[in-house]
Amino acid sequence: MGVGGVSEKTSVRLEDLVIAIDEQIRLTDQRIEDELARAGRLRRARRQLEFRLWRTSPLFCKPR
């Protein structure tokens, strides 16, 4: 055992740690972007549905 209870066999090179952290950050950013895109699509679909319901509602339809 080395200092702090970490054996030398399980120690990770600093470069490998940085690469792993960068990859985790990239994946997290990608998930956030995907969720924001999904939320935007859902908001747009909801607006379209509300508008369609409003247009076809008998309360707002004007007789011709």
Nearest to 34 by CA among 46, 26, 45, 22: 26
Kindly report whether the global pTM for this prediction surpasses the value 0.75: no
**Tens-digit pLDDT profile for residues 49-58:** 999 888 887 7
∠ Cα 35 46 42 (to 5°): 10
3-state DSSP assignment of residue 39 = helix
Q: Does 4 have pLDDT greater than 80?
A: no
